Chains A and B, each alone.
Chain A
Amino acid sequence: MSATSTKEKVADLVATFKSTGRFVIVGASLAGLRAAEALRKEGFTGPLTIIGDEPEEPYDRPPLSKQVLKGWVPADHTKLPRVRQVDAEWRLGIAATGLDRVTKQVRLANGEQVPYDRLLIATGTRAREWPNAKEAALEGVYTIRTSTDAAGLQKALAAKPGRVLVIGAGFIGSEVASVCRELGLPVTVVESGSAPLVSSLGGVIGAIAAEMQRDHGVDLRTGIGVKSLEGDGKGHVRRARLSDDSVVQCDVVLASLGSIRNTEWLEGSGLAAGFWGVGCDAGLRAFDINGVVTESIFVVGDIARFPHVLYEYQFLVLEHWDNAVLGAEVAAHNMVSLEPDRRPHLPLPAFWSGQFGVNIKSVGVCPFGNEIIFTQGSVKERRFAAAYGHRGRIVAAVTFNHGKWLEYYAAQIERSAPFPPPPAGYDRPEMKPVPAEFPDPRVPTSRPDVILTGHDPTERGAEFQARI
């Protein structure tokens, strides 16, 4: 066979696959939707099924803890704009419960089996509930992840509770505390770590976040836990007992304890799925438990655990909005492309959080750094930029109301520039690097939403080959 005819034959096969292959996406939120759209953009015209456990069509989550809770935007008004017709069969309100890689089928909660030739796993995360189930069931106790959660909590806040208790001062907890103060509600925030945001941004920035909360009238208590929640005769939460035996009277409780990755349905599938997500290569192809890359299964969004060149090839999980959007494009492209055309998903991690009138933005992986230096602006005015360093190179940056400068730091991080970085502008404060004060990983605190999870492609033990 001549080279040309081989090439033609391969092109034919690819064209046939792109028009007849059965593609299935499990997970119908931001990553799943954007991947479906990207598949169509890539020229995939075959049958596409999108499975999601929530009954709603894909919606945006960041507004839920902000403009929705404030009462400005109704919780069901955050449906995502479509950028392209996806012409899919939507299976919403039905969870996937299993995966059989031998017969190539996804099992649904109603017993149905959905066959696939290419599968994209985008099942994301769910909120970690208050661990005591009886207390969690008390009226007035909330988590926030879904639009239904947000609708319930918004209603509870609008009813002017005497006091709101927020357990866990990560980004979500801090944003909700901020909304409570904007609504004029008394709020107590209890954080087991030393400061708000400490696991994501370190103790130096955490101390500033703590000041911000207290300046806005938040009753912030750090280094302390909640022992129990107690209800009244009608089963409505009324008080919390803290680990120092003090008691907080409260009518609404938000447990913002981080998230749990939705990987249980993959148990028994033989994929490298576990606590930290689903291990995959930088092209978002899933690994099996032995670290062998699969050809037909891809992972995207909050549960994709992929190695990143900028962070010593450690596997990274990113619960960030643009990780879902950018990953969706890469996954879709690679699902319909042959090996030489596959692209890597190597985003520079980035996130934002609005709280207490301050826009907090970050690029890179802050907890990878062990030193921090304030590079621009004024901490006192809460308008500044700071850079994180690791072994003499810049690995991350954070800005408070200084977002226009972030791009400068992003470029430095992308080329592993020296730390401390050269001055970005005119307003450089006279500062030296100091320890960034990230908590010891063994200390319990709210979990950061970007986590380096080491070098093992699979979290479970590999199946070692017996010696013959």
Chain B
Amino acid sequence: MRVVVDLNRCLGYAQCVFLAPSVFKLNGEEALQYDPNPDDATRLKVLRAAAACPVQAILVEHLSGKEGEATS
């Protein structure tokens, strides 16, 4: 599963840290760090975290089939 957080938008409310603590962590009071490729087993937690984010800064990949990548 792929995740990216828009850290310009993130204001450190840390809802994600409560909902998916293995994926989202605060470094200090406000600086969010996260695992951009968490295990699929955490998917439900990550989706909950994304939904709960007050500033909607968490983007989770929803596409099912991946595109063929390097073709050259």
Contacts and interface: CB of A to CB of B under 8 A. Distances in A.
Contact of A62 (B7, B37, B68, B71): B7
B61 A81 contact: yes
Contacts of B31: 352, 354-355, 357-359
Contacts, number: 109
Given A350-B8, A352-B8, A92 B72 contact: yes
A66 B7 CA distance: 13
Query: B interface, by DSSP: helix, strand, loop or mixed?
Result: loop
A354 B69 contact: no
B58 to A, nearest CB: 10
A73 B36 contact: yes
A466 B72 CA distance: 47
A161 interface: no
Residue picked from B12, B27, B37, B66, most chain A C-beta under 10 Å: B27
Nearest to B69: A57
Interface residues of A, number: 46
Interface string B18-58: 00000000011111111111000000000000000000000
Contacts of B2: 79-82
Nearest to B68: A90
Q: How large is the interface on B (under 10, 10 to 19, 20 to 34, 35 or more residues)?
A: 20 to 34
B35 A72 contact: yes
Interface string A364-401: 00000000000000000001000000000000000001
Contacts of B60: 81
A78 B61 CA distance: 12
A66 B33 contact: yes
A86 B33 contact: no
A383 B36 contact: no
Interface of A: 55, 57, 60, 62-63, 66-67, 72-74, 77-94, 321-322, 325, 350-352, 354-359, 361, 383, 401-404
Interface of B: 2-4, 6-8, 10-12, 27-37, 59-61, 63, 66-72
